[in-house]
Structure 1
């Protein structure tokens, strides 16, 4: 999600995302706030000039204003002027423009003006613009607009754009609160197809970001449909999660699964890899996601559980003490004690000697 925000800032500034990579280490909310400030500064430049041009367009028919926009202003300036017009007038002019020109202009439109203008456009025109944006691969601009679209328009767009376009637009969505409704409009067959596109196209980071932006029934659907992919597809998800340090996003999804789906995940080849399992343990220690992780550990093959047990036993004293305290706080001993039994004697002794363990026993 932070990467999406960095790419949005880069687009605004006409810079390469790599030039702004330093922003990626900041909280996503801070980068988003910065982007909104940049948008305001850029969109409010030279207001007097833009207002004069906007006033001039009111003196001629919409068709003439559209021709001037296309021939004299170009997509960037035309979008800036549209942002200074009344929404109804801007919509009238847009309706006279070629769809390709409008699609290019959309990338420059002040996001604060989108809702009012889109609401006045013909549904068919909005669908055609979205299709052109998808064909051009401008998913960032699609994400800027999608949250403002009516359900009937969204339904028609979903029928005409690819699974990859749907996923990438969701990754860049400016109004994530609209994502649950968009997912509701997608049946399980289509949502499953989008998830498979994530596996085929190496888009697991984008898919996990979308999953993190929704909750409740829609997050459960994503978790269940993902768990029902074939082993190779799921292994690719696990390995991307391990490589990119995304366990904090994936483990809460796994925790939502029923026993059968959780067992399917536990049987993955990637979850027999000692390096992957050790990485999960480190991530769980850092995020205190023991409640999400231990139910999965309980159904891992014994050799994999032994790797987890050894990785836990090898933690530093402070980390191990924190583990025991968290287990006690969540009352997870029933899940942890079988792991302790798999540890070497030295590991067991370390745990039993911990002040946190003694406190639990005393309680």
Structure 2
């Protein structure tokens, strides 16, 4: 993602980790996304380690009690945040029993505070049926940050099951936006049925400006060239007026890096169609894309589009001093 989009996602996750508002961490917006990520990781580790001995004692004590009693005590006596920390210290042998007995609402509360990567093995032991119930509950709460972070820890089987019950394309877009790693995001997208992939892309690029951002980020972050090409091809299928609106959004809000990645992945027929769009005939829009390509050293990503552009567009760039190669 570009600095702005990646930073936005990381600031949201940092605010969540610190249990504060995004306004309170907005002053960190000048940092690179990777730096904010490192800060979040360090803060989370510090907060966990400060009381880790206590969490370990609670986890050890739980082994002396039957699962049903442990669940009753947890839901009545422990805030979900405490349970999320204890979960990182327990073994996997009784996870299934705990998951069957904990209420869906309480499990969803725990997920909000949990660090998925610390409990990857535990998550893999949660029964699929219960996991999908929790996923549905989190979607109903619009807990997209939580679900996005869960992608890194979920097995492919869990991802497929969750996607089947998450019927909202908008929800999937925001979950993808907050996914931690490109590799796990790519695996999750690959698990979607072909028609669902097309639907998600169309929903993004025909929707609001916010969805434009989420859709472009999704395509740009997929790290499989063939799959990214499929997504980019679907982007070119949206109605002409939607493409024009998307191009103007890109320039206005600084999403040129994502669009250039999409362009580099588009099939020839899609590029030919995009090159005829009215928005590209706008001098400011065209020059903004060219400047972003030149600034980022990505002229090669714009050149495939220009190969299908008319003489007027090429003349505009030549007159502005751009080397079309």
**Aligned length in residues:** 316
Residue 28 of structure 1 is matched in structure 2 by 33
Question: Higher mean Cα deviation, 211-220 or 290-299?
Answer: 290-299
Which of 244, 251, 259 aligns to 1:235? It is 244
Q: Provide the residue aligned with 1:4 in structure 2.
A: 9
Query: Following the alignment from structure 1 to structure 2, what is the Cα–Cα distance between the partners of residues 51 and 256?
Result: 49
- Does residue 213 in structure 1 map to residue 221 in structure 2? yes
Counterpart CA distance in 1 for 2:96 and 2:15 is 28
Q: Secondary structure at the match of 2:308?
A: coil
Q: Per the alignment, do residues 78 and 258 of structure 1 end up closer, same or farther by CA in structure 2, a change over 3 Å counting?
A: closer
Structure with max Cα Rg: 1
Does 2:194 match 1:185?
Answer: no
Per-residue deviation, residues 114-144 of structure 1 (Å, max 9, x unmatched): 2111111111111111111111100111011
| Distance in 2 (alpha carbons) for counterparts of 1:298 and 1:120 | 52
In structure 2, runs of 5+ residues without a counterpart are 1-5
Q: Does the CA contact (< 8 Å) of 2:260 and 2:301 recur in 1? A: yes
Partners of 2:229 and 2:176 in 1: how far apart? Answer: 17
CA shift digits 1:22-73 (9 cap, x unpaired): 3333222222222111111112222232233223322221111111111111
Answering whether residue 300 of structure 2 is matched by residue 291 of structure 1, we say yes
Q: CA deviation at 1:186?
A: 1.7
Matched residue, 1:175? 181
| 1:264 aligns to 2:273 (yes or no) | yes
Shift of 1:249: 1.9
Q: Matches of 2:50 and 2:92 in 1, distance apart? A: 19
How far, CA to CA, are the matches of 2:114 and 2:231 in structure 1? Answer: 32
2:123 corresponds to which of 118, 121, 124: 118
Q: Is the 8 A contact 2:99 2:127 kept in 1?
A: no
| 1:165 paired residue among 146, 165, 171 | 171
Q: TM-score, normalised on structure 2?
A: 0.90
2:316 matched to which residue of 1?
Answer: 307
CA contact (8 A) 2:220 2:261 kept: no
Q: Alignment RMSD, CA only? A: 1.9
1:14 and 1:166 map into 2 onto residues whose CA distance is 24
Matched, 1:64 2:69: yes
- Cα separation, 2, equivalents of 1:298 and 1:56: 68
Single out whichever of 245-254 and 160-169 deviates more from structure 2: 245-254
Which segments of 5 or more consecutive residues in structure 1 lack a partner in the other structure?
314-322, 333-363
* SS of residue paired to 1:87: coil
TM-score (norm 1): 0.81
User: Match for 2:144 among 139, 143, 167?
Assistant: 139
Once the two structures are superposed, residues 69-118 of structure 1 have per-residue CA deviations (whole angstroms, 9 ceiling, x without a partner) of 11111211121222222233444323311011101111111333221111
